[in-house]
Structure 1
Amino acid sequence: MAVKVLVVDDSSFFRRRVSEIINQDPALTVIDTARDGQEAVDKAIALRPDVITMDIEMPVLDGISAVRAIMAKNPTPILMFSSLTHEGAKATLDALDAGALDFLPKKFEDIARDKEEAVNLLQQRVKAIARKRFMLSAFRNRSVGEPSPVLNKREQPVERPVARPSISPVFKRSGKTYQLVAIGTSTGGPVALQNILTQLPADFPYPILLIQHMPSTFTAAFAARLNGLCKIGVKEAADGDVLRQGQAYLAPGGRQMLVEGRGSNARLRIIDGNDKVNYKPCVDITFASVAKSFGDKVLAIVLTGMGSDGRDGARLLKEQGATIWAQDEASCVVYGMPQAVTKAGLSSESLPLDRIAQRILVELGRQ
């Protein structure tokens, strides 16, 4: 049965364009469109689509408010369309906080080298988030206007709904020593990173490198948001940054983040990188440089995301004796990157999202 999609945008041209792309895939079908947020809420309830594509700026009811209302009344996987501006980044992050699962730029040429690639990417994203409807069941008990269940306060983190194991695992420390934590992610990553980082203490003993597939205009806003929510410091990485304990460095969108030097002399290099590389930033590239600089003293974690970025870098880390973990399938928005690492036999543990922070603290002897 084809995935049923509701397309929401105040532009008739964009509604038609998105509908045409989605309907090109026999596994997808557009069942209706909506011109504003309120119409989207009404049709989401009446038609019960499998996926909704949603604009942010619309009349009557904006996209973020529409997401909140839909998640309260009829939780549905939502893909946001955003402008690649600083304000667009902030609004998109607000939409993810409200419950949307993923986002894409409204200008398809910004995410693909050609029309065919853009078409395939949109179709793949819709199909990927359609599989995660069950993750949203916890929204049903909330009323419209109630804050979404994400980590929205530094002092009192609140968990976003994810699939949970029936029995909480009892973690044991391996006894290994570390100097660095590195985390790579893509689709679903902003919420996953927020979940983990907001649970870490201010005196976290090591630097943390964050590689999130994200447009260049988004990473500064995302780093600033995380910094405001977390006890640790979070910043967009800059060329020449010295790695400090208790500080997380988010790779800038559109560039590559490398590590040079060892221990207290380690610094970040931010470069443009090869245009033939699919991802900027690329988890494989950062992981590979970390393997050279820190060897076995690395705890690397691969979170939710499409594709297999991180697998090759994790292999290099594993060869050096580093520890590799992966997010489990049930709690991923898209089980692509973690699955690639797990199937390759590189991860020693597969962890639910809501347990990763605790597992990190146990492994580092902080719990």
Structure 2
Amino acid sequence: MAIKVLVVDDSSFFRRRVSEIVNQDPGLEVIGAATNGEEAIAMAAQLRPDVITMDVEMPIMDGITAVRRIMATTPVPILMFSSLTHDGAKATLDALDAGALDFLPKRFEDIATNKQEAITLLQNRIKGIARRRGGSVAPVRPSSAAGPTTVRESLVNRRPERVPPSPVSGPAVGSAPVPKRFSNASGKRYKALLIGTSTGGPVALQKVLTQLPTNYPLPILLIQHMPAAFTPAFASRLDGLCKIRVKEAENGEMLQPGCAYLAPGGMQMMIEKSGGYGRIKILAGKADMNYKPSVDITFASASKIYGGDILAVVLTGMGADGREGSRMLNNLGATIWAQDEASCVVYGMPQAVVNAGLASHIVGIEQMADAILKESFNG
């Protein structure tokens, strides 16, 4: 049965263009088109689409408001279209907070080198989020008063296993010393935390990073598949929500504990050694690379500097980026975790790591921060 798609945009040209691309795939079918947010809400309730493509800026009712109301009444996976501008980036991030699952630039030439590549990309994105029927993962509501949920697993075994949620809530985590119960479970002393993600990553990263305390002991490298225009706005948003510092990575800066460095969109982030410390190196990368930034490239470069003294986490995302970098890290004795399928928007990247036998544990996104704390702090 074909995936039913509702197209929402105030431009008749763009509605036709998206509809033509969607209908070219026999597994997809456009069942309706709306010109504004109000129409989208009514048609979502009436037609019950499997996926909605949504413009951000529309008359009568904008896409962000429409996403929020649809997710409250008739939840459905939503793919946003936005401009590659600073304002467009902020609006798209607002839409993801409201419940949208993914986004694409409205100018297809910004995301593909040719027409067929753009067509395939849009079709695959729709298919990817359609599997998350019922809409988004739980919305993010960061709080400075509540600590992370305690996990029951010790995270010692190398055999993959799921970390179950615990009904017990821990005390608040702030700038005060972290309690002994968060002491390192495996006994390893890490030098860096690496997190790679793609589709669904902005919300997943926000859930994890907002729970880390100001005295988190490791530098954090974040690799999120995202256009160049989006990463400054995303880093700024995370920095405003988190206790730790979050910034877009800059070439030549030294890694500092308690700071998260977001790889710039359209570039590659690598780590090089400088006087016994890690230093960021930002490169344009090869033109034929599928991902800019690439999880594999950052993971691989970090393995050459830190060896096995790395905790690497692969979160929700389409494709298999991160698998080969995780393989290099795993061969050196690093600890690799993957997000569980149930909490992923798209179980692609984590699944690739798990299927390759590289993940020591599979952790739900709600338990990820607590597990990271437990593993990162030395008792």
TM over 0.5: yes
Pairing of 1:220-235 with structure 2 (within 5 A) = 220-235=232-247
CA contact (8 A) 2:273 2:305 kept: yes
Give 1:366 deviation, angstroms. Answer: 7.1
Q: Hey, what does 2:285 align to over in structure 1?
A: 273
Q: Which amino acid aligns with 1:151?
A: R
* Overall identity of the aligned pairs, in %: 64
SS in 2 for 1:209: strand
1:267–1:157 distance in 2 versus 1, CA, 3 Å: same
2:140: which partner in 1?
150
Q: How far 1:365 moved relative to its partner? A: 3.3
Match of 1:178 among 190, 206, 214: 190
SS of residue paired to 1:330 = helix
Q: Write the deviation string for residues 159-210 of structure 1: whole angstroms up to 9, x where unpaired.
A: 9xxxxx9952699811111010000001110001001000100100000000
Note if contact 2:200-2:317 (Cα within 8 Å) is conserved in structure 1: yes
Q: Say which SS state the counterpart of residue 344 (structure 2) adopts.
A: coil
Whose RCO is larger (CA < 8 A, sep 6+)? 2
The structural deviation recorded for 1:262 is 6.1
Tell me how far 1:151 sits from its aligned partner: 3.0
- Give the conservation status (yes or no) of the 8 Å contact 1:243–1:264: no
Q: Which moved more, 1:42-51 or 1:259-268?
A: 259-268
- Relative to structure 2, which stretch is displaced further, 110-119 or 87-96? 110-119
Corresponding residue for 1:285? 297
Q: CA deviation at 1:31?
A: 0.4
| Cα pair 1:3 1:51 within 8 Å, conserved | yes
| CA distance, structure 2, for counterparts of residue 74 and residue 276 of structure 1 | 40
- 1:301-340 correspondence to structure 2 within 5 Å: 301-340=313-352
The residue correspondences of 1:36-55 to structure 2 (distance < 5 A) are 36-55=36-55
Offset of 1:134 from its aligned partner?
3.6
- Provide the residue aligned with 1:56 in structure 2: 56
Displacement of 1:133 after TM fit?
Answer: 1.8
Does structure 1 residue 355 correspond to structure 2 residue 376?
A: no
- The one-character-per-residue Cα deviations of 1:29-62 (angstroms, maximum 9, x if unpaired) are 0000000110001111111111100000001000
2:135 maps to 1:96? no
Of 288, 293, 299, the residue aligned with 2:311 is 299
- How far, CA to CA, are the matches of 1:306 and 1:166 in structure 2? 22
Please tell me the residue identity of whatever aligns with 1:333: V
User: How does 1:55-204 map onto structure 2 within 5 Å?
Assistant: 55-134=55-134, 136=136, 149-154=139-144, 167-168=164-165, 173-204=185-216
Q: Distance between the aligned counterparts of 1:226 and 1:263, measured in 2? A: 30
CA distance in 1, matches of 2:205, 2:5: 28
Distance 1:19 1:167, change over 3 A: same
Tell me the amino acid that sits aligned with residue 276 of structure 1: D
| Alpha-carbon separation, structure 2, partners of 1:251 and 1:75 | 32
Alpha-carbon separation, structure 2, partners of 1:340 and 1:87: 34
Question: Which of residues 250, 255, 260 is equivalent to 1:248?
Answer: 260
Shift of 1:155: 5.0
In structure 1, the residue corresponding to 2:230 is in which secondary structure? helix
- 2:212 is the counterpart of 1:215: no
Gaps of 5+ in 2: 150-161, 169-181
Whole-angstrom CA distance in 2 between matches of 1:39 and 1:157 = 41
1:142 is matched with which residue?
none
Cα shift at 1:157: 8.5
Q: Write the deviation string for residues 250-297 of structure 1: whole angstroms up to 9, x where unpaired.
A: 000001101011685211001111111111101111001000000011
**Take 1:166 and 1:339, find their aligned partners in 2: how far apart are those partners?**
16
The total of aligned residue pairs comes to: 352
